[in-house]
Structure 1
């Protein structure tokens, strides 16, 4: 790996990501290179595709919900090019592993609004809850039952009564009840998974599963 290019990249990322030390950023870059499968030491035009990233979420962070894993991918992929580049990788992990409450709040909201308009609308809540209930219950949940849940959710979180949840609505609801942060499904890893990942990544132990 080109040490000069690596050092330059670490310096660049460290200006935007304050929650990791430079040595930790370097470890995450090395892990990224291993996961991408590049051996030429170059950092340009490489990235994790959706399937590879989903495999990471599953094996390293214990995520299993297909729909939410796809949404997490899009939340990491800030430039919407269907690949997570090394800077997006480190920035996303900074929220996953050491994000402040405010950073996690913004991240979860971004995961939950599906159409990119900045609101979680009734149809999106319905789709998310239907997906979640389908995975968690062997009994068939009726659409009517899910619609009732949507109504309850909107009643609790839609403070301006416009039929959809804005970021302001979401933030107010979560500040009043922290349990609502992942109300539409787990999109942040559990603390144990974060600790296990850090132990692996920052000791520079490359996983054998990739």
Structure 2
């Protein structure tokens, strides 16, 4: 692709960036849903963010703060509490930086991820303690954070308790008092609308379409 993917970048700078990382992108393509040309465009977005970032010299990283800006402004993911969970789900490390690989995998998930990938990702977001299952207390915490925005404090407590009871009855397939991954998986496969039942951790389709139209107009409609 000879045309510059972003007119704000110096053409020679962009060429150097592509030459430096082209081999790496071939490997990265294996675990994304992008063609090489599409991945190249995603990496140009990464490069543009990187240019205005304060990062370790010579690194191929962007700050978590700037990555969250992309999710917030570019993909409409505005829930601050869930954003903390999202960062853990995407990158189990504690570094304040996001790697090129993590960025590519995240964009692949958000723009083209299949149901299996989204189920795994959503469950990881909700599994606050990394226990492999969701306890009543965990579900209560997640739902309370979600409902607190739309309700008065004195309305939230009882509503959340009722919702947790409903969700446990609906999703606790093996009736052991917790929702393990298999419970969650089975419930969502049968009723896909349950995928984000404990908090919004994925961009909505209009936001995805807007992102693609703005940043990747040559891709066409998904």
TM-score, normalised to structure 1, is 0.85
Structure 2: distance between partners of 1:44 and 1:15: 25
Match of 2:209 in 1: 195
1:4 aligns with 2:16: no
Which residue number corresponds to residue 135 of structure 1?
Answer: 149
Deviations 1:81-130 (A, max 9, x none): 34321101111111111111111111111111111122122111111111
8 Å CA contact 2:148, 2:156 repeated in 1: no
Larger Rg, first or second structure (1 or 2) = 2
Q: Which of 112, 117, 121 does residue 98 from structure 1 map onto?
A: 112
1:169 counterpart residue number: 183
Structure 1 SS opposite 2:154: coil
C-alpha change, 1:186 and 1:156, in structure 2 (3 Å) is same
- In the aligned structure 2, how far is the partner of 1:47 from the partner of 1:158? 40
Q: Mind listing any 5+ residue stretches in structure 2 that lack a counterpart?
A: 1-15
Residue matched to 2:30: 15
Q: Structure 1 pair 202/189, CA: closer, same or farther in 2 (3 Å)?
A: same
Aligned runs of 1:1-210 on 2, under 5 Å?
Answer: 1-17=16-32, 19-37=33-51, 45-138=59-152, 140-203=154-217
Distance 1:46 1:135 in 2: 37
Give the number of the structure with larger relative contact order, counting CA–CA contacts within 8 Å between residues 6 or more apart: 1
SS in 2 for 1:48: strand
CA deviation string 1:167-197 (max 9, x = no partner)? 1000111122111011012211111211221
CA pair 3-95 structure 1, distance change in 2 beyond 3 A? closer
Give the whole-Å Cα distance in 1 for the aligned partners of 2:95 and 2:215.
26
CA root-mean-square deviation: 2.3
The offset of 1:37, in angstroms, is 2.6
Which stretch of the first structure deviates more once superposed, 104-113 or 51-60? 51-60
Distance in 1 (alpha carbons) for counterparts of 2:198 and 2:58: 36
Q: CA deviation at 1:200?
A: 2.7
**Cα distance, 1:60–1:163 mapped onto 2, change above 3 Å:** same
Partner of 1:207: none
| Counterpart contact for 1:111–1:187, Cα < 8 Å | yes
How many residues are matched?
201
